[in-house]
A and B are shown apart, each in its own frame.
Chain A
Protein backbone atom coordinates (compact mmCIF):
# COMPACT_ATOMS: atom_id res chain seq x y z
CA UNK A 1 0.00 0.00 0.00
CA UNK A 2 2.91 2.24 0.78
CA UNK A 3 4.68 1.28 -2.42
CA UNK A 4 1.89 2.41 -4.70
CA UNK A 5 2.04 5.75 -3.00
CA UNK A 6 5.64 6.47 -3.77
CA UNK A 7 5.83 5.03 -7.27
CA UNK A 8 4.31 8.12 -8.81
CA UNK A 9 6.74 10.38 -6.98
CA UNK A 10 10.09 11.69 -8.17
CA UNK A 11 8.84 14.89 -9.68
CA UNK A 12 12.18 16.58 -10.34
CA UNK A 13 13.26 15.46 -13.78
CA UNK A 14 16.54 13.55 -13.83
CA UNK A 15 16.86 13.81 -10.07
CA UNK A 16 19.79 12.03 -8.48
CA UNK A 17 19.76 10.71 -4.93
CA UNK A 18 22.69 9.24 -3.04
CA UNK A 19 22.31 6.84 -0.15
CA UNK A 20 25.25 7.23 2.22
CA UNK A 21 26.00 4.24 4.41
CA UNK A 22 28.87 4.49 6.88
CA UNK A 23 30.16 1.01 7.58
CA UNK A 24 32.66 -0.29 10.08
CA UNK A 25 32.79 -4.09 10.19
CA UNK A 26 29.24 -4.54 8.86
CA UNK A 27 29.92 -7.44 6.48
CA UNK A 28 27.22 -9.61 8.07
CA UNK A 29 24.53 -6.90 7.95
CA UNK A 30 25.16 -5.43 4.52
CA UNK A 31 23.85 -8.20 2.18
CA UNK A 32 20.31 -7.95 3.57
CA UNK A 33 20.46 -4.15 3.46
CA UNK A 34 21.57 -4.26 -0.18
CA UNK A 35 18.60 -6.47 -1.08
CA UNK A 36 16.20 -4.05 0.56
CA UNK A 37 17.86 -1.10 -1.13
CA UNK A 38 17.62 -2.82 -4.53
CA UNK A 39 13.90 -3.14 -3.95
CA UNK A 40 13.63 0.59 -3.23
CA UNK A 41 15.78 1.58 -6.23
CA UNK A 42 13.75 -0.67 -8.54
CA UNK A 43 10.49 1.05 -7.65
CA UNK A 44 11.81 4.61 -7.88
CA UNK A 45 11.60 6.59 -11.10
CA UNK A 46 14.70 8.63 -10.32
CA UNK A 47 18.33 7.61 -9.96
CA UNK A 48 19.27 6.16 -6.58
CA UNK A 49 22.94 5.41 -6.03
CA UNK A 50 24.29 3.59 -3.01
CA UNK A 51 27.62 4.66 -1.53
CA UNK A 52 29.33 2.72 1.23
CA UNK A 53 31.94 4.53 3.27
CA UNK A 54 34.16 1.72 4.44
CA UNK A 55 35.80 3.17 7.54
CA UNK A 56 38.86 0.92 7.57
CA UNK A 57 36.83 -2.22 8.36
CA UNK A 58 38.79 -5.23 9.55
CA UNK A 59 36.27 -7.78 8.23
CA UNK A 60 35.37 -8.37 4.59
CA UNK A 61 33.00 -5.39 4.29
CA UNK A 62 34.85 -4.28 1.16
CA UNK A 63 34.52 -7.71 -0.51
CA UNK A 64 30.76 -7.80 0.25
CA UNK A 65 30.32 -4.37 -1.34
CA UNK A 66 32.38 -5.26 -4.42
CA UNK A 67 30.38 -8.46 -4.87
CA UNK A 68 27.20 -6.46 -4.88
CA UNK A 69 28.54 -3.80 -7.22
CA UNK A 70 27.76 -0.74 -5.10
CA UNK A 71 29.99 2.31 -4.92
CA UNK A 72 32.56 2.10 -2.16
CA UNK A 73 34.91 4.68 -0.73
CA UNK A 74 37.48 3.10 1.56
CA UNK A 75 39.10 5.42 4.08
CA UNK A 76 42.83 4.72 4.41
CA UNK A 77 42.66 5.69 8.11
CA UNK A 78 39.75 5.10 10.52
CA UNK A 79 37.97 8.44 10.90
CA UNK A 80 35.00 7.43 13.03
CA UNK A 81 31.33 7.93 12.22
CA UNK A 82 31.45 11.70 11.65
CA UNK A 83 34.45 11.68 9.34
CA UNK A 84 33.01 8.73 7.40
CA UNK A 85 29.58 10.30 6.91
CA UNK A 86 31.15 13.60 5.88
CA UNK A 87 33.13 11.77 3.20
CA UNK A 88 29.75 10.68 1.82
CA UNK A 89 28.46 14.26 1.83
CA UNK A 90 31.60 15.44 0.09
CA UNK A 91 31.03 12.76 -2.55
CA UNK A 92 27.44 13.93 -2.96
CA UNK A 93 28.63 17.53 -3.20
CA UNK A 94 31.32 16.82 -5.80
CA UNK A 95 28.97 14.69 -7.93
CA UNK A 96 26.12 17.21 -7.66
CA UNK A 97 23.51 14.96 -6.12
CA UNK A 98 20.15 16.60 -5.45
CA UNK A 99 19.40 14.58 -2.35
CA UNK A 100 21.53 12.64 0.12
CA UNK A 101 20.08 10.01 2.41
CA UNK A 102 22.02 8.80 5.40
CA UNK A 103 21.31 5.35 6.75
CA UNK A 104 23.13 3.10 9.23
CA UNK A 105 24.90 0.01 7.97
CA UNK A 106 23.74 -2.20 10.83
CA UNK A 107 20.21 -2.87 9.62
CA UNK A 108 18.42 -0.67 12.20
CA UNK A 109 16.93 1.52 9.50
CA UNK A 110 14.37 0.10 7.11
CA UNK A 111 15.08 1.32 3.55
CA UNK A 112 11.36 1.20 2.65
CA UNK A 113 11.05 4.64 4.31
CA UNK A 114 13.63 6.23 2.01
CA UNK A 115 11.13 7.31 -0.69
CA UNK A 116 9.08 9.12 1.96
CA UNK A 117 12.14 10.94 3.26
CA UNK A 118 12.98 11.95 -0.33
CA UNK A 119 9.41 13.14 -0.82
CA UNK A 120 9.75 15.44 2.18
CA UNK A 121 12.87 17.00 0.67
CA UNK A 122 11.10 17.47 -2.64
CA UNK A 123 8.34 19.26 -0.74
CA UNK A 124 10.83 21.92 0.32
CA UNK A 125 12.35 20.70 3.57
CA UNK A 126 16.11 20.97 3.71
CA UNK A 127 16.59 18.17 6.24
CA UNK A 128 14.16 15.42 7.16
CA UNK A 129 14.83 13.14 10.12
CA UNK A 130 13.32 9.69 10.44
CA UNK A 131 11.93 9.64 13.97
CA UNK A 132 11.05 6.68 16.19
CA UNK A 133 9.11 8.83 18.61
CA UNK A 134 6.30 10.35 16.56
CA UNK A 135 4.17 7.24 16.34
CA UNK A 136 6.23 5.31 18.88
CA UNK A 137 6.24 2.22 16.73
CA UNK A 138 8.99 -0.37 16.38
CA UNK A 139 12.22 -0.51 18.34
CA UNK A 140 12.22 2.29 20.90
CA UNK A 141 15.74 1.90 22.33
CA UNK A 142 16.43 1.29 25.99
CA UNK A 143 14.75 3.36 28.70
CA UNK A 144 17.92 5.15 29.75
CA UNK A 145 18.63 6.13 26.17
CA UNK A 146 15.10 7.44 25.69
CA UNK A 147 15.67 9.69 28.70
CA UNK A 148 18.88 10.96 27.09
CA UNK A 149 17.15 11.55 23.76
CA UNK A 150 14.30 13.41 25.49
CA UNK A 151 16.85 15.63 27.20
CA UNK A 152 18.59 16.47 23.89
CA UNK A 153 15.20 17.10 22.36
CA UNK A 154 14.40 19.53 25.18
CA UNK A 155 17.82 21.21 24.91
CA UNK A 156 17.41 21.79 21.16
CA UNK A 157 13.90 23.14 21.70
CA UNK A 158 15.23 25.43 24.44
CA UNK A 159 18.04 26.80 22.25
CA UNK A 160 16.34 26.95 18.86
CA UNK A 161 12.61 26.86 19.57
CA UNK A 162 12.17 23.83 17.32
CA UNK A 163 10.72 20.55 18.55
CA UNK A 164 12.78 17.58 17.29
CA UNK A 165 11.55 14.30 18.74
CA UNK A 166 14.49 12.11 17.66
CA UNK A 167 17.63 14.24 17.35
CA UNK A 168 19.96 11.24 17.66
CA UNK A 169 18.47 9.46 14.65
CA UNK A 170 21.03 8.78 11.93
CA UNK A 171 18.26 8.02 9.42
CA UNK A 172 17.83 11.26 7.51
CA UNK A 173 17.61 12.86 4.10
CA UNK A 174 18.73 16.28 3.00
CA UNK A 175 18.82 18.52 -0.05
CA UNK A 176 21.57 20.41 -1.85
CA UNK A 177 21.93 23.23 0.68
CA UNK A 178 22.53 20.85 3.57
CA UNK A 179 24.81 18.62 1.48
CA UNK A 180 26.96 21.70 0.87
CA UNK A 181 26.86 22.62 4.55
CA UNK A 182 27.84 19.13 5.74
CA UNK A 183 30.55 18.78 3.08
CA UNK A 184 32.19 21.89 4.53
CA UNK A 185 31.73 21.16 8.18
CA UNK A 186 30.65 18.07 10.06
CA UNK A 187 31.43 17.03 13.64
CA UNK A 188 33.88 14.23 14.32
CA UNK A 189 31.96 11.99 16.69
CA UNK A 190 28.34 11.74 17.89
CA UNK A 191 27.35 14.18 15.12
CA UNK A 192 23.55 13.76 14.88
CA UNK A 193 22.07 16.14 17.51
CA UNK A 194 24.69 18.80 16.84
CA UNK A 195 24.09 18.86 13.08
CA UNK A 196 20.35 19.40 13.59
CA UNK A 197 21.18 22.60 15.48
CA UNK A 198 23.70 23.69 12.82
CA UNK A 199 21.08 23.26 10.10
CA UNK A 200 18.46 25.17 12.11
CA UNK A 201 20.98 27.88 12.86
CA UNK A 202 21.52 28.37 9.12
CA UNK A 203 17.81 29.13 8.79
CA UNK A 204 17.08 25.93 6.88
CA UNK A 205 13.91 23.90 7.25
CA UNK A 206 14.05 20.73 9.34
CA UNK A 207 11.16 18.30 9.55
CA UNK A 208 10.60 14.84 10.96
CA UNK A 209 8.89 11.82 9.57
CA UNK A 210 7.72 8.79 11.56
CA UNK A 211 9.75 5.66 10.84
CA UNK A 212 9.87 2.23 12.37
CA UNK A 213 13.35 1.17 13.45
CA UNK A 214 14.51 -2.34 14.17
CA UNK A 215 16.75 -3.62 16.93
CA UNK A 216 20.25 -3.96 15.54
CA UNK A 217 20.93 -7.27 13.88
CA UNK A 218 24.64 -7.63 14.52
CA UNK A 219 27.64 -5.59 15.58
CA UNK A 220 27.40 -3.29 18.57
CA UNK A 221 26.37 0.29 19.22
CA UNK A 222 29.10 2.89 19.15
CA UNK A 223 27.86 4.17 22.52
CA UNK A 224 28.48 1.77 25.39
CA UNK A 225 27.28 2.37 28.96
CA UNK A 226 30.73 3.43 30.08
CA UNK A 227 30.90 6.16 27.49
CA UNK A 228 27.39 7.33 28.35
CA UNK A 229 28.35 10.14 30.69
CA UNK A 230 31.08 11.39 28.38
CA UNK A 231 28.60 11.27 25.51
CA UNK A 232 25.98 13.32 27.38
CA UNK A 233 28.45 16.02 28.40
CA UNK A 234 30.13 16.22 25.01
CA UNK A 235 26.93 16.38 23.03
CA UNK A 236 25.41 18.95 25.41
CA UNK A 237 28.44 21.15 24.90
CA UNK A 238 28.43 20.55 21.15
CA UNK A 239 24.75 21.52 20.89
CA UNK A 240 25.32 24.69 22.91
CA UNK A 241 28.36 25.69 20.83
CA UNK A 242 26.49 24.92 17.60
CA UNK A 243 23.66 27.20 18.68
CA UNK A 244 26.04 30.15 19.01
CA UNK A 245 28.29 29.24 16.07
CA UNK A 246 28.91 31.44 13.09
CA UNK A 247 26.61 30.78 10.18
CA UNK A 248 28.06 29.23 7.05
CA UNK A 249 28.38 31.49 4.04
Chain B
Protein backbone atom coordinates (compact mmCIF):
# COMPACT_ATOMS: atom_id res chain seq x y z
CA UNK B 1 0.00 0.00 0.00
CA UNK B 2 1.69 3.15 -1.25
CA UNK B 3 1.45 6.08 1.09
CA UNK B 4 4.62 7.92 2.13
CA UNK B 5 5.50 7.68 5.79
CA UNK B 6 5.96 11.46 6.04
CA UNK B 7 2.44 12.10 4.76
CA UNK B 8 1.12 9.43 7.09
CA UNK B 9 2.86 11.00 10.12
CA UNK B 10 1.45 14.43 9.22
CA UNK B 11 -2.04 12.95 8.80
CA UNK B 12 -1.83 11.13 12.15
CA UNK B 13 -0.63 14.24 14.01
CA UNK B 14 -3.24 16.39 12.25
CA UNK B 15 -6.15 14.09 13.04
CA UNK B 16 -5.10 13.64 16.67
CA UNK B 17 -4.82 17.44 17.11
CA UNK B 18 -8.25 17.82 15.50
CA UNK B 19 -9.67 15.30 17.99
CA UNK B 20 -8.10 17.11 20.97
CA UNK B 21 -9.35 20.47 19.66
CA UNK B 22 -12.93 19.24 19.48
CA UNK B 23 -12.86 17.62 22.90
CA UNK B 24 -11.48 20.87 24.31
CA UNK B 25 -14.24 22.92 22.63
CA UNK B 26 -16.81 20.71 24.35
CA UNK B 27 -14.92 20.97 27.63
CA UNK B 28 -14.94 24.78 27.65
CA UNK B 29 -18.62 24.69 26.60
CA UNK B 30 -18.13 26.44 23.27
CA UNK B 31 -19.61 23.48 21.42
CA UNK B 32 -22.71 21.64 22.53
CA UNK B 33 -22.17 17.91 22.95
CA UNK B 34 -25.24 17.33 20.78
CA UNK B 35 -23.53 18.97 17.80
CA UNK B 36 -20.04 17.80 18.78
CA UNK B 37 -20.90 14.09 18.47
CA UNK B 38 -20.74 14.08 14.67
CA UNK B 39 -17.39 15.92 14.78
CA UNK B 40 -15.96 13.53 17.37
CA UNK B 41 -16.96 10.59 15.19
CA UNK B 42 -15.42 12.29 12.16
CA UNK B 43 -12.11 12.96 13.91
CA UNK B 44 -11.96 9.40 15.29
CA UNK B 45 -12.47 8.01 11.79
CA UNK B 46 -9.70 10.34 10.52
CA UNK B 47 -7.37 8.87 13.16
CA UNK B 48 -8.32 5.31 12.19
CA UNK B 49 -7.80 6.05 8.48
CA UNK B 50 -4.39 7.65 9.02
CA UNK B 51 -3.12 4.94 11.39
CA UNK B 52 -4.54 2.09 9.29
CA UNK B 53 -4.71 3.28 5.67
CA UNK B 54 -5.74 -0.29 4.72
CA UNK B 55 -9.24 0.53 5.95
CA UNK B 56 -9.65 3.06 3.12
CA UNK B 57 -8.61 0.45 0.53
CA UNK B 58 -10.97 -2.06 2.12
CA UNK B 59 -13.86 0.38 1.90
CA UNK B 60 -12.98 1.19 -1.73
CA UNK B 61 -13.08 -2.51 -2.60
CA UNK B 62 -16.33 -2.93 -0.70
CA UNK B 63 -18.16 -0.20 -2.65
CA UNK B 64 -16.36 -1.25 -5.85
CA UNK B 65 -14.53 2.02 -6.52
CA UNK B 66 -11.25 1.44 -8.35
CA UNK B 67 -9.16 4.28 -6.88
CA UNK B 68 -9.10 4.44 -3.08
CA UNK B 69 -8.92 8.26 -2.95
CA UNK B 70 -12.11 8.52 -5.01
CA UNK B 71 -13.91 6.30 -2.52
CA UNK B 72 -12.65 8.57 0.25
CA UNK B 73 -13.83 11.73 -1.54
CA UNK B 74 -17.21 10.19 -2.25
CA UNK B 75 -17.74 9.29 1.41
CA UNK B 76 -16.55 12.67 2.68
CA UNK B 77 -18.62 14.70 0.20
CA UNK B 78 -21.71 12.68 1.08
CA UNK B 79 -21.08 13.28 4.77
CA UNK B 80 -20.50 17.01 4.20
CA UNK B 81 -23.74 17.36 2.24
CA UNK B 82 -25.63 15.69 5.07
CA UNK B 83 -24.03 17.98 7.63
CA UNK B 84 -24.71 21.16 5.64
CA UNK B 85 -28.32 20.15 5.17
CA UNK B 86 -28.72 19.44 8.88
CA UNK B 87 -27.28 22.89 9.57
CA UNK B 88 -29.75 24.57 7.19
CA UNK B 89 -32.59 22.83 9.01
CA UNK B 90 -31.18 23.97 12.35
CA UNK B 91 -30.82 27.58 11.11
CA UNK B 92 -34.42 27.62 9.85
CA UNK B 93 -35.66 26.45 13.22
CA UNK B 94 -33.57 29.07 15.00
CA UNK B 95 -34.85 31.81 12.65
CA UNK B 96 -38.48 30.88 13.37
CA UNK B 97 -37.82 30.84 17.10
CA UNK B 98 -35.93 34.13 17.05
CA UNK B 99 -38.73 35.81 15.09
CA UNK B 100 -41.33 34.61 17.59
CA UNK B 101 -39.16 35.80 20.49
CA UNK B 102 -38.56 39.23 18.97
CA UNK B 103 -42.31 39.66 18.38
CA UNK B 104 -43.25 38.61 21.88
CA UNK B 105 -40.60 40.82 23.49
CA UNK B 106 -41.75 43.80 21.41
CA UNK B 107 -45.41 43.20 22.34
CA UNK B 108 -44.57 42.79 26.04
CA UNK B 109 -42.48 45.93 26.05
CA UNK B 110 -45.24 47.95 24.40
CA UNK B 111 -47.74 46.58 26.90
CA UNK B 112 -45.50 47.44 29.84
CA UNK B 113 -44.86 50.97 28.60
CA UNK B 114 -48.58 51.56 28.18
CA UNK B 115 -49.26 50.28 31.70
CA UNK B 116 -46.60 52.59 33.12
CA UNK B 117 -47.99 55.57 31.19
CA UNK B 118 -51.53 54.85 32.39
CA UNK B 119 -50.29 54.54 35.94
CA UNK B 120 -48.45 57.87 35.74
CA UNK B 121 -51.45 59.77 34.37
CA UNK B 122 -53.66 58.20 37.03
CA UNK B 123 -51.36 59.20 39.89
CA UNK B 124 -51.09 62.74 38.51
CA UNK B 125 -54.84 63.41 38.59
CA UNK B 126 -56.26 62.62 42.03
B interface, size bucket: 10 to 19
Does A151 interact with chain B (Cβ within 8 Å)? no
A208–B12 CA distance with the chains assembled, in angstroms: 69
Q: How far is the CB of A187 from chain B (nearest CB, A)?
A: 11
Interface of B is mostly: helix
Q: Does the CB pair A71–B107 fall under 8 Å?
A: no
Selecting from B21-29, B43-51, B72-80, B97-105, the interface stretch reads B97-105
**Is there an interface contact between A91 and B107, defined as CB atoms closer than 8 Å?**
yes
Closest B residue to A51 by CB, please name it: B110
Is A33 in contact with chain B by the CB < 8 A criterion?
no
Interface string of B93-116 (1 = CB under 8 A from A): 001001100111111011000100
Q: Which residue of the partner chain, among A73, A77, A79, A86, contacts B110 with CB atoms under 8 Å? A: A73
Chain A residues with Cβ below 8 Å from B105 are: 76
Query: Are B107 and A74 in contact, CB atoms less than 8 angstroms apart?
Result: no
Judge whether B103 and A86 touch: CB under 8 Å.
yes
Contact between chains at A90 and B103 (CB < 8 Å) = yes
Complex partner residue of A74 from B95, B98, B106, B114, CB under 8 angstroms: B106
B95 contact set on A, CB distance < 8 A:
188
Q: Is the CB of A77 within 8 A of B107?
A: no
* Complex Cα gap A63–B110 (Å): 14
Q: Complex formed: what's the CA distance from A44 to B99 in Å?
A: 35
Q: Do B102 and A76 touch across chains, with their CB atoms under 8 A apart?
A: yes
Contact between A75 and B103, CB atoms less than 8 A apart: yes
Instruction: Please indicate the chain B residues that have their CB under 8 angstroms from the CB of A94 in the complex.
Output: 107
**Minimum CB–CB distance for A1 against chain B, Å:** 38
Q: Could you say which residues of chain B place their CB within 8 Å of the CB of A83?
A: 99, 102-103
- Ranked nearest first, the 10 interchain pairs of A and B with the lowest CB-CB distance are A73-B110, A87-B103, A75-B106, A77-B102, A73-B106, A83-B99, A90-B103, A75-B102, A79-B102, A91-B107
Known: A75-B106, A87-B107; 16 extra A-B contacts, CB below 8 A, are: A71-B114, A73-B110, A74-B110, A75-B103, A76-B105, A76-B109, A77-B98, A83-B99, A86-B103, A87-B103, A87-B106, A90-B104, A90-B107, A91-B110, A188-B95, A188-B99
Chain A interface residues toward B at CB < 8 A: 71-77, 79, 83, 86-87, 90-91, 94, 188
* 5 examples of A-B residue contacts, CB within 8 angstroms: A73-B110, A79-B103, A83-B99, A87-B103, A188-B95
